[in-house]
Amino acid sequence: MAETGNGEFSFGTTTAEEKHKGTARNGLTKIQTAHGKKVATVCHDDSTPPVKAQTIDQLHSLQQKKRSAPNTPLTAQGSGGTFSPLSEEQRQKQQLQSISASLASLTRETGPKLVKGDPARKAETPKVAHGLDHHFAPTISVSDSSLKFTHVLYNLSPAELYEQAIKYEKGSFITSSGALATLSGAKTGRAPRDKRVVKDDATEDDLWWGKGSPNIEMDEHTFMVNRERAVDYLNSLEKVFVNDQFLNWDSQNRIKVRIVSARAYHSLFMHNMCIRPTPEELEDFGTPDFTIYNAGQFPCNRYTHYMTSSTSIDINLARREMVILGTQYAGEMKKGLFGVMHYLMPKRGILSLHSGCNMGKDGDVALFFGLSGTGKTTLSTDHNRYLIGDDEHCWSDAGVSNIEGGCYAKCIDLSREKEPDIWNAIKFGTVLENVVFEEHTREVDYADKSVTENTRAAYPIEYIPNAKIPCVGPHPKNVILLACDAFGVLPPVSKLNLAQTMYHFISGYTALVAGTEEGVKEPRATFSACFGAAFIMLHPTKYAAMLAEKMQKHGATGWLVNTGWSGGSYGSGSRIKLPYTRKIIDAIHSGSLLNANYKKTKVFGLEIPTEIEGVPSEILDPINTWNDKKAYEGTLLKLAGLFKNNFETFTNYKIGKDSKLTEEILAAGPIF
């Protein structure tokens, strides 16, 4: 190449002879330029026009469009509803003030110096909450931490959270279907023994305390010690994630929640699991009704009173706050908030339910109660019905509403054939916890239990194609109680009268197979009042009375469905095939099972149908499926005994206003 006189570059000239032969002087094929045209003066790599940037930095700045300023007028805080449009700058300042208050330590009313945005993006001009800290900063002992900035990553999008996770959180990967694989750390399940609730004058009388209750007490002071520990930890970080979201699709009873966390994994999980605000709703968000401080990477101090391990999940209803120390399992946040709803909603006459919920084309709603692993998520996700939610609902005078904005499905042994809707929901945006994948293709092996058996996928509810948005529905027609009976003696389905429904609801039975150790293990019975003792705050009979009243008023039918063993206990029998359970559920939904012929079982006194379309009739009465009839009788009596023992704690309680119902419920258990 040579420089021409005018400073441009052109290919070297060739002789007429070389031109004719088509070879350059060195013998290589000559590069052909357009004949008859003036030789191009600039070399382009391709035919598209050049970029509109002079530098690489300019080019990169073109890639990302600035978000346009919100155009809805804002109501200034405390302005009594009159519209006073805020500038974008004022809005940002208000937001930072609110977050600053959330992050305030006990010695201050406002928190650390906050900056919005990613600390890695140095070019961003820091938007500091001016003057916030030195107003209230303690005069003595100003620490270094008050001199630093904490970056706030506020309601990031899934794409931004993916980048944060992949850049900064070890164990974050994109799987072949686009989901974000994460590790929850040492804890891969909830820690109910480490849950504490502040006992104060109000909660002392309101809450269920003592034997069988999930509410282990702590005092206000200890809560504040743990809160300070979490807040200090979060403030010591370079950045924190803040999610402002909603709970409850019933707009009259919506709760505003703020989640402050240290990991993109936690922020994306809650983005998926809570209701996502629109940009307009976010502008008016204001002060949250409830705040979670998730400092899960940081342990609690075992010298602190009431602490029995390095994990503590603390709820303070008066302060409307929850503190998480020593566990990164994300389910702790969603179930912690569920506990709060179990306190707040009944106060408003609304029943909170640990249940899945779906609706047929004709508007018939079904609730699916059951403990973990019994099939709430699997059976409420039904291709022929609208999904309202898989786990947490409210039943008010207006009907049912989902508390959440997403689903949390177990993925162990997940198959595309058996559960296509859940399979297809595992895509970009979905958090996949603790799964194992092939290191190169990033194909997930859902059968692999190397990390844990409790592998999970958290996805927004709209990832299920027939989700009902908004997630609300009319009063339930069917109330299905799910039990995974590993003893194999409960019938696949029974029709319950109201007293039986209440008896089984209060009992909250399931029997999963313990652990994954080698060898056949005895099934272990679990009784968890209201199918969710870990989450209820009031005495179980309070919820039971509300359920009875609502079922009676709206004429709902109760059913008991065994999604567990048939043909023997765990070890000799096998789990009832999911397609059969689905046929049973179909017959409940369609109403056809109401018109079946029934017979009554011994001991439990359950009404069982003699025929269901698509289900072998002999399995409907469990005794038929057991080879050893004596063993069946013995196992049946054993389970009946466990039910009886468990119910003794409730025999002194009255359920509802009418003592006739209480007597009927007590008589609705097994008789032997």
Ligand X SMILES: C=C(OP(=O)(O)O)C(=O)O
Ligand Y SMILES: Nc1ncnc2c1ncn2[C@@H]1O[C@H](COP(=O)(O)OP(=O)(O)O)[C@@H](O)[C@H]1O
Catalytic residue positions? 190, 335, 354, 372, 376-377, 391, 456
Q: Report, in Å, the least distance between residue 356 CB and ligand Y.
A: 7
Q: Which is nearer to ligand X, 499 or 561 (CB)?
A: 561
Selection from Mn ion, ligand X, ligand Y, none that 190 binds (CB < 5 to 8 A by kind) is: ligand X
Phi, psi at residue 175, to the nearest 5°?
-85, 170
* C-alpha–C-alpha distance, residues 579 and 558, integer Å: 21
Q: Which is nearer to ligand X, 203 or 374 (CB)?
A: 374
Q: Which is nearer to ligand Y, 374 or 396 (CB)?
A: 374
Matching residue, tokens 């480490």: 194
Q: What single-letter DSSP state applies at residue 466?
A: T
Partners of 258 in the β-ladder: 244, 291
**Residue 335 near ligand X by CB under 6 A:** yes
Selection from Mn ion, ligand X, ligand Y, none that 112 binds (CB < 5 to 8 A by kind) is: none
Selection from Mn ion, ligand Y, ligand X, none that 335 binds (CB < 5 to 8 A by kind) is: ligand X
Per CB under 6 A, the segment of 294-302, 372-380, 513-521, 550-558 that binds ligand X is 372-380
Q: Report, in Å, the least distance between residue 500 CB and ligand Y.
A: 21
* DSSP strand pairing (456-460 vs 431-433): antiparallel
Per CB under 5 A, the segment of 2-10, 375-383, 471-479, 490-498 that binds Mn ion is 375-383
Residue 657's alpha-carbon distances to 3, 545, 549, 660, in angstroms, are 100, 8, 10, 9
**Residue from 223, 408, 632, 650 that binds ligand X (CB under 6 A)?**
408
Q: Report, in Å, the least distance between residue 377 CB and Mn ion.
A: 3
Q: For residue 343, what are the contacts with CB-CB under 8 A and spacing of at least 6?
A: 206, 207, 317, 537, 538
Q: Which is nearer to ligand Y, 476 or 532 (CB)?
A: 532
Matching residue, tokens 């692993």: 373
**Residue 601 near Mn ion by CB under 5 A:** no
Q: Which is nearer to ligand X, 422 or 444 (CB)?
A: 422
Q: Report, in Å, the least distance between residue 391 CB and Mn ion.
A: 5
Selection from Mn ion, ligand Y, ligand X, none that 558 binds (CB < 5 to 8 A by kind) is: none
Cβ atoms of 166 and 428 within 8 Å: the answer is no
Q: Report, in Å, the least distance between residue 337 CB and ligand Y.
A: 17
How many residues of this chain bind ligand X (CB under 6 A)? Answer: 8
Cβ atoms of 231 and 105 within 8 Å: the answer is yes
**Residue 190 near ligand X by CB under 6 A:** yes
Q: What single-letter DSSP state applies at residue 193?
A: G
**What residue ranges bind ligand Y (CB under 6 A)?**
370, 372-379, 409-410, 563, 575-576, 578, 581
Q: Report, in Å, the least distance between residue 189 CB and ligand X.
A: 7
Q: Which is nearer to Mn ion, 108 or 376 (CB)?
A: 376
* DSSP strand pairing (386-389 vs 113-116): unpaired
**Residue 195 near ligand X by CB under 6 A:** no
What beta strand segments (E) does 317-396 contain? Answer: 321-325, 351-359, 365-369, 386-389, 392-396
Q: What single-letter DSSP state applies at residue 30?
A: P
Q: Report, in Å, the least distance between residue 370 CB and ligand X.
A: 7
Q: Report, in Å, the least distance between residue 178 CB and ligand X.
A: 23
* C-alpha–C-alpha distance, residues 591 and 589, integer Å: 5
**Residue 331 near ligand X by CB under 6 A:** yes
* 49 cis-preceded (ω within 30 degrees of 0): no
* C-alpha–C-alpha distance, residues 579 and 566, integer Å: 14
Q: Which is nearer to ligand Y, 244 or 390 (CB)?
A: 390
Residue 32's alpha-carbon distances to 2, 17, 41, 667, in angstroms, are 17, 15, 14, 98
**Residue from 118, 391, 419, 485 that binds ligand X (CB under 6 A)?**
391
Per CB under 6 A, the segment of 68-76, 297-305, 307-315, 369-377 that binds ligand X is 369-377
Cβ atoms of 425 and 432 within 8 Å: the answer is no
**Residue from 377, 455, 557, 625 that binds Mn ion (CB under 5 A)?**
377
Cβ atoms of 617 and 584 within 8 Å: the answer is no
Question: Site map for Mn ion, 381-400, x if CB under 5 A?
Answer: ----------x---------
Cβ atoms of 580 and 501 within 8 Å: the answer is no
Residue 486's alpha-carbon distances to 203, 354, 483, 671, in angstroms, are 37, 21, 9, 21
Selection from ligand X, Mn ion, ligand Y, none that 578 binds (CB < 5 to 8 A by kind) is: ligand Y
How many residues of this chain bind Mn ion (CB under 5 A)? Answer: 3
Asked whether the CA dihedral 448, 450, 453, 458 is positive or negative, the reply is negative
- Angle 158-168/264-273 helices, nearest 10 degrees? 150
**Tokens, residue 89:** 């700058």
Report CA 553 to chain centroid distance, whole Å: 31
* C-alpha–C-alpha distance, residues 76 and 86, integer Å: 7
**Residue 380 near Mn ion by CB under 5 A:** no
Q: Report, in Å, the least distance between residue 163 CB and ligand Y.
A: 30
Q: Report, in Å, the least distance between residue 198 CB and ligand X.
A: 22
**Residue 509 near ligand X by CB under 6 A:** no
Alpha helices in 459-607 (DSSP H): 498-507, 540-554, 578-590
Q: Which is nearer to ligand Y, 324 or 513 (CB)?
A: 513
Q: Which is nearer to ligand Y, 312 or 581 (CB)?
A: 581
Cβ atoms of 531 and 581 within 8 Å: the answer is no
Q: Which is nearer to ligand Y, 354 or 495 (CB)?
A: 354
Q: Rule CB under 5 A: which residues touch Mn ion?
A: 376-377, 391
Q: Rule CB under 6 A: which residues touch ligand X?
A: 190, 331, 335, 372, 376-377, 391, 408
